[in-house]
C-alpha cells in the first residue's frame, strides 16, 4: 500500500469548504518545520505545501510576526521558535499528566537500562510520542528523537495502539496511513499484521525487530484507562527501545512484561474526564 503524504493522513474535522485554507496551510507549515532540524528554505516550503513563493512568504511573515518562526539570515532557512514546544509543555503541565507519570517511566528506564517513551492517542486518530527517558546504566544510547513519526505498522508503539482496536478500525487506519516497506524487515501484509496483533493481545504487548529502523528493536504496551462512563480505551502507550548490538530478540521481549506493568500503573492515574483531550503538541524529551 502506498503511504499517504503527511498532509493527507488525516481528514479535516469539517468539510473542506468550511475550513480556512490559510490556517490549514500555516498549521501544515508548522508540522513540516517540526520534522526539519536544519530548517527549510523558501523553495523547500513552497514545494512542501504546493504553493507559490508569494503565498509561502506571506505565511512565513505571519508566523514570524506571531513568534512561531524565525529566519536564519545567514543560511536563508526558516526554523520554529520554542513557542510551539512551550505551548505543548504548558498544556501537559496543566493536565498534571507528566508529573504523575515521570517516576514510573524513570523506574522502567532504570530497570531496563534503555530508552523509554510515553505516547498519547490524539482524538482517536493518531498516536504521538510526548516524553522520553533514557536509562543511565548504559553508555551507548540510541537517540530518543530519532524519528517523531509513529508508523502504525512498523513501530511497536503503533502496534500497541492497534492491538486495542477493532479489526475494522485497524484496516481503516492502515489504509489511511499506508504500509510502506521501511526496511527489509517491514511487513506490508495486513493479514500478517493482524495475526501479529492477535499475539500481542494475548501477551499484553507489541514488538518490532528492525521493522522501522535498522539496528533498533522495541516493545510497547498500551495504556488502557477507564473513562467516566465506565468504558475502557487505549489512551497511550509505553515503549522500550534498544539497539540490536546490545539486545537480542529474547532480551527485548523480556522487557515486554515490564512495559505492560508500567502501562497498567499509568492507567490507574490517567485523567478520567472524557472531556480531557490532548491536542497535537511539539514533541520533547
d(CA 278, CA 271): 11
Contact 120, 278 (CB under 8 A): yes
Which pLDDT tens digit goes with each residue over 136-149? 655 445 554 445 56
- The answer on pLDDT for 32 being more than 50 is yes
Whether pTM > 0.75 for this model: the answer is: no
> Residue 79 has what pLDDT?
92
- Which of the four pLDDT bands, split at 50, 70 and 90, describes residue 94? low
pLDDT in tens, 204-228: 999 999 999 899 999 999 999 987 7
Query: Is residue 13 over pLDDT 60?
Result: no
Q: Average the pLDDT over 11-35 and give the result.
A: 71
pLDDT above 90 as % of the chain: 49
- C-beta of residue 218 within 8 angstroms of C-beta of residue 242: yes
Q: Which domains does the chain have, with CATH numbers?
A: 6-81 (1.10.10.10), 88-269 (3.30.450.40)
CB atoms within 10 A of CB 108: 24
Q: How far apart are the first and last CA of the chain?
A: 32
Count of CA atoms in the C-beta half-sphere (13 A) of 270: 29
Question: How far apart (Å, rounded) are the C-alpha atoms in residues 269 and 278?
Answer: 16
- How much is the pLDDT for 90? 63
- Reported as a pLDDT band with limits 50, 70 and 90, residue 24 is confident
Amino acid at each position: 500500500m502506498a503511504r499517504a503524504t503527511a498532509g493527507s493522513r488525516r481528514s479535516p474535522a469539517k468539510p473542506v469548504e468550511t475550513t480556512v485554507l490559510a490556517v490549514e496551510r500555516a498549521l501544515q507549515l508548522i508540522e513540516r518545520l517540526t520534522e526539519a532540524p536544519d530548517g527549510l528554505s523558501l523553495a523547500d516550503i513552497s514545494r512542501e505545501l504546493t504553493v507559490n513563493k508569494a503565498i509561502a512568504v506571506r505565511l512565513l511573515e505571519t508566523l514570524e510576526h506571531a513568534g512561531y518562526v524565525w529566519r536564519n539570515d545567514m543560511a536563508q532557512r526558516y526554523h520554529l521558535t520554542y513557542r510551539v514546544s512551550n505551548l505543548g509543555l504548558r498544556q501537559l503541565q496543566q493536565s498534571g499528566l507528566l508529573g504523575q507519570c515521570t517516576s514510573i517511566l524513570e523506574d522502567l528506564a532504570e530497570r531496563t537500562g534503555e530508552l523509554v517513551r510515553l505516547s498519547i492517542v490524539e482524538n482517536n486518530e493518531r498516536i504521538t510520542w510526548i516524553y522520553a527517558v533514557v536509562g543511565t546504566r548504559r553508555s551507548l544510547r540510541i537517540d530518543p528523537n530519532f524519528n517523531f513519526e509513529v508508523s502504525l505498522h512498523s513501530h511497536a508503539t503503533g502496534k500497541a495502539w492497534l492491538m486495542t482496536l477493532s479489526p475494522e478500525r485497524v484496516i481503516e487506519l492502515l489504509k489511511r496511513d499506508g504500509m510502506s516497506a521501511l526496511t527489509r524487515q517491514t511487513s506490508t501484509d495486513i493479514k500478517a499484521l493482524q495475526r501479529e496483533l492477535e499475539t500481542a493481545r494475548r501477551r499484553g504487548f507489541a514488538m518490532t525487530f528492525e521493522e522501522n529502523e535498522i539496528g533498533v528493536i522495541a516493545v510497547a504496551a498500551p495504556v488502557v484507562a477507564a473513562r467516566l462512563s465506565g468504558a475502557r480505551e487505549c489512551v497511550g502507550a509505553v515503549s522500550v527501545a534498544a539497539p540490536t548490538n546490545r539486545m537480542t530478540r529474547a532480551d527485548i521481549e523480556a522487557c515486554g512484561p515490564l512495559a505492560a506493568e508500567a502501562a497498567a500503573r499509568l492507567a490507574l492515574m490517567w485523567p478520567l474526564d472524557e472531556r480531557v483531550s490532548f491536542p497535537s503538541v511539539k514533541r520533547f524529551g
